[in-house]
A and B are shown apart, each in its own frame.
Chain A
Amino acid sequence: MRYEAPSSVEDAVATLAGAPGAHVLAGGTDLLVRLRSEMIEPDLIVDIKRIKGMREIAPEAGGWRIGAAVSGAEIGEHEGLRADWPGVVEAAGLIGSTQVQGRATLAGNLCNASPAADSVPAMVAAGAVARIVGPEGTRDLAVIDVPKGPGKTALARGEFIASILLPAKAPRSGDAYLRFIPRTEMDIAVVGCGVSLSLDEEGRVTAARVALGAVGPKVILVDAAAEAIMGRALDEAALSDLAAACSKAATPIDDKRGTVAFRRHVAGVLARRAAVIAGARAKGEQA
């Protein structure tokens, strides 16, 4: 097995182009586990951590560009991200243990393409965009369009994600992410829900994005849930409609982690709870 650590995107792209079976290494929290458990035996591993910008969080167009190798711990300590996208920060912080947080990345969580990935519904609710580099050049793709199904992404051979852009936060906006796990940590979402919303001065919802994880083969952006609360204050009736829309939109399976009925129900519960937190944040309250 060969290990390369190129210092530029161009070198990385060229190295990957020459080795069809190569794996990209950023945090390695998925890759190393697969290697150690003998699920994969790659000929080449390309470490992208030494490429300039990969470990940076930079302001861009009022939002934030997060390099592909920025760790969960670094995200969690970034004042600007915490102020603008606390839901995404919290979602990223839920991945793995304290030790894993020193390595795990948003881009890796996205490319792993697990339906249960914690950061993905939060990024989708936030309207995040992935910047993809590859042999055909650079392209931007909405995070919602990156996963295609369990373990499958829209990335072509030789492509990798170089960064993720969280857009500028609109006024009176807030986001939140909640997941349900049977334990308190070191677990995988049975249901995840990211909510991002904006309010007018009377507290009525002017914009909303609601995304569900772990209740379908990939993250689900629930338009009906957003519509259910548009123009309304986040009162009991609106929240119930939101919850019902999410329960309805969920397409879960029965498996070892939960039943269909449980996941549908909890999708609604989490959406309601996340919307309350996001709404409070939009009003500038501590939540």
Chain B
Amino acid sequence: MALDDSKKPRVFKVVGTRPDRPDGIDKVTGRARFGADMVAPGMLTGRILRSPHAHARIKRIDTSKAEALAGVKAVVTRADFGTVPDHVAVIMENCMAGEKALYDGHAIAAVAAISPAVARQALRLIEVDYEVLPHVTDVDEAMKPDAPVLHEGRQEETVPPGMSQNVIARAEFGHGDIEAGLAKADRVLERTYRTAATHQGYIEPHACLATMGADGQGDLWVCTQGHYMVRNTCAAILGLEQGQLRVTASEIGGGFGGKTTVFLEPVALMLARKSGRPVKMVMSRSEVLRATGPTASTSIDVKIGMTKEGRITAGFAELRYQGGAWPGSPVNMGAMSGFAPYDLENVKTVGWDVVTNRPKAAAYRAPGAPMAAFAIESAIDELARGFGLDPLAVRLMNAADKGTKSSYGPTYPAIGLKATLEAAKAHPHWTAPLGKHQGRGVACGFWFNFGGDTCVSLNITPDGTVTVSEGNPDIGGSRASMTMMAAEELGIPYDQVRTVIADTGSLGQNEVTHGSRVTFAVGLATIEAARSAKREMCRRAAKIWGIDEEAVDWEDGAARPAGPNAGKFPPMTIKEIAAVASKTGGPIAGHHEVTAQGAGVSFATHMADVEVDPETGATKILRYTVFQDAGKAVHPSYVEGQFQGGAAQGIGWALNEEYIYGEDGILQNAGFLDYRIPVASDLPMIDTVILEIPNPGHPYGVRGVGETSIVPPLAAVANAVSAAAGVRMVQLPMSPPRVLAAIQAGG
């Protein structure tokens, strides 16, 4: 059969349209089941006791009074887990403190009881004897030689001797000769930038329902970005074989990277094992903010040389990221990505991974990249404006393109950065007039994107409709996208396909929903699974017609005799083939398993207009436009939604969001009142322009789009605010008190 579609440009019938999302009705009517919506007979309530100290040695935990309380069915501490394998040791420590409590909110013990009231009372009866230790929450403070030390002996050999043990690792990227490059510049700008830790701010708190039978078989219902990861991690921690633990993903109310690890899940399983009853755990908002992954706070030095024509002669950045209480801040990705939009002869970045007494950083949408982009894009903007140059023209002059050796090593294939910059330059937004106290900023951003392990199973039902089973929670409309790609490939209508998220017992390993990978990688596997089903259907038709299977084509949802047999038999539709499948060899399915490669990087340019009130320092976002390369937009509405969502989160990061710690190391704003994500009225309608520079690594040209969109906005807004306020803002968030103080100091 002829399935090679490379010969002619593909004309899409379903891909690129905007059908209703298949999960839409469930979500607007409340029928969708999220993490906290599941119940089981005999279910207990699980609760966690959390550290009130930023840093303390746990000398003794006495749970006897809690265990004696009527209605308490299990109490768990770190001791119940025993020794766990090395690869999950840090995750274990984060889920339940061992020798030390390392941050405000660190889990110390857990109970399962017959009601929330009893569980609450039981937590009060747990006695913990703490030896409070000095703490440190600021990245620069933590690097000082006399800073309180969190861990001994975790420092890597990359760190020069004499530095604090809190400095875990040093990494370096780049090429060329920085000093030689700087010498060619007409101006060298040096600045230090700072960003605050921000939380992913998903609306749905972490929740799960665990059961562990006496036979050693477990089931877990959980809100997560990757139930296969949950299975593997929990199995390792609890000493189970992976096949004995079945994990089902609930609907998910946002994750943005923050649900790519486990917090409650191993504890819930241990409580279930100890109590012999199902245990449900749901975090409060305060627990989410105190104990789940924010991203790193950072301190970044930038040194950039530029000619008066706008050519960057050298770019250097030293990035210090604290990733909370264990190694693993996203500093390397910041160091790799910050200069990635530019074609530079001389570029170097140095990243320092630092630990502090804060919750362990989790992934947050393009982890590490927005902060680096804030620093570097701010510096480029300041240089360009200083020379009186157009900041878009300067970026175009320096833009990376096909064949550019990137700042992190690889040489780019076809990329879309210049297309986004040219679209920005041609857009009416760029030339719209500005009023008093108003400013416009632009910035570019880059993200790597990812592929990874992926399995898809596509089944043809006896009536010829199609079900797609995939293993990645649908966090951004991916069921719609998979349905569309399956329908496109099979040549059948969208409504003839239904995509479900299968549990861990139904498919092989699937990488977490992260790295903007799902539309790319699961899409690729869906297309390949559909092709495999098509091949089988062509074979069945060939068998019925008594001709060679190579002489059958698939077109418009039907097998058709081709070549010398063309027209000899009427086409057989998918429904006709399915109806007789039992007589031609049995049920028909296609499947595909792959470690997907070739994800294809994505670039964006953002443009922001703001107005700053010079008397209060308050910033209003007046207008915002996102220009981004999507490769191929499968469902353009969701692509636009990803662009807008990243911009909205970045605007929050730029203006008001921050983790605020007191002198005591306690988080001051563990709630959505004082941890200020933008509300709808804070934002204008965010305009979007989708560019489509096909990714050669995907059959339809798809690139991931979910993460790139949060990379430019911190800098775009900072550049706009700096222009409007007449003073360069180098620290985030640009909260009104900070902006007002800068205006007053500058004026």
Contacts and interface: CB of A to CB of B under 8 A. Distances in A.
Interface of A: 37-38, 41, 180, 182-188, 190, 255-259, 261-262, 265-266, 269
A246 to B, nearest CB: 13
18 contacts: A37-B284, A180-B616, A182-B618, A183-B676, A183-B679, A184-B679, A184-B681, A186-B679, A187-B676, A256-B668, A256-B669, A256-B674, A257-B674, A258-B736, A259-B741, A262-B736, A265-B740, A266-B740
Given A37-B284, A259-B737, A266 B669 contact: no
B624 to A, nearest CB: 15
A256 to B, nearest CB: 5
A261 B741 contact: yes
Contact of B741 (A184, A185, A190, A262): A262
Contact of A187 (B673, B737, B740): B673
Contacts of A183: 656, 676, 678-679, 681-682
Nearest to B736: A182
Contacts of B679: 183-186
B735 interface: yes
B437 to A, nearest CB: 14
Chain B: interface residue count, which band?
Answer: 20 to 34
Interface residues of chain B: helix, strand, loop or mixed (majority): loop
B615 interface: yes
B419 to A, nearest CB: 34
A38 B115 CA distance: 13
Contacts of A188: 673
A180 B736 contact: yes
Contacts of A262: 617, 736-737, 740-741
Interface in B690-747: 735-737, 740-741
Contacts of A265: 615, 740
Contacts, number: 54
Contacts of B620: 184
A180 B674 CA distance: 14
B726 to A, nearest CB: 18
A188 B656 CA distance: 14
B668 A182 contact: no
A256 B620 CA distance: 21
B565 to A, nearest CB: 66
Interface string B261-277: 00000000000000000
Nearest to B740: A262
Contacts of A37: 284
A269 B737 contact: no
A258 B676 CA distance: 13
Interface of B: 116-117, 120, 284, 615-618, 620, 655-656, 660, 668-669, 673-674, 676, 678-679, 681-682, 735-737, 740-741
B679 to A, nearest CB: 5
B676 A182 contact: yes
Nearest to B656: A182
A37 B286 CA distance: 10
B684 to A, nearest CB: 11
A269 B669 contact: no
B54 to A, nearest CB: 16
Contacts of B676: 182-183, 187
B196 to A, nearest CB: 12
A263 to B, nearest CB: 8
Nearest to B737: A262
A269 B660 contact: no
Given A256-B668, A256-B674, A185 B284 contact: no
A269 B617 CA distance: 11
Contacts of A190: 736
Nearest to A268: B615
A202 to B, nearest CB: 29
Contacts of B616: 180, 266, 269
Nearest to A182: B656
A265 B668 CA distance: 24
Contacts of B660: 256
A43 to B, nearest CB: 13
Contacts of A266: 615-616, 740
Q: Which of B618, B676, B735, B737 has the most CB of A within 10 A?
A: B737
Kindly name the residue among B116, B120, B284, B618 whose own CB sees the greatest number of chain A CB atoms within 10 A.
B618
B361 to A, nearest CB: 21
A262 to B, nearest CB: 4
A80 to B, nearest CB: 28
Nearest to B613: A269
B737 A185 contact: no
A184 B652 CA distance: 13
Contacts of B116: 38
Given A38-B116, A261-B737, A269-B615, 9 more contacts: A37-B284, A182-B656, A182-B735, A184-B679, A184-B681, A255-B668, A256-B674, A259-B741, A261-B741
A6 B285 CA distance: 35
Contacts of B678: 183
B673 A185 contact: no
Q: Which 6 A-B pairs have the closest CB atoms?
A: A262-B737, A184-B681, A269-B615, A256-B668, A256-B660, A186-B679
Contacts of A269: 615-616
B467 to A, nearest CB: 39
Nearest to A37: B284
B60 to A, nearest CB: 27
A182 B736 CA distance: 7
Contacts of A186: 679
B120 A38 contact: yes
Contacts of A256: 660, 668-669, 674
B618 A180 contact: yes
Contacts of A41: 117
Contacts of B615: 265-266, 269
A257 to B, nearest CB: 7
Given A182-B618, A269-B616, A258 B737 contact: yes
A269 B744 CA distance: 14
B681 A185 contact: yes
A259 B116 CA distance: 39
Nearest to B116: A38
A190 B740 CA distance: 14
Nearest to B672: A186
A186 B620 CA distance: 16
A38 B118 CA distance: 13
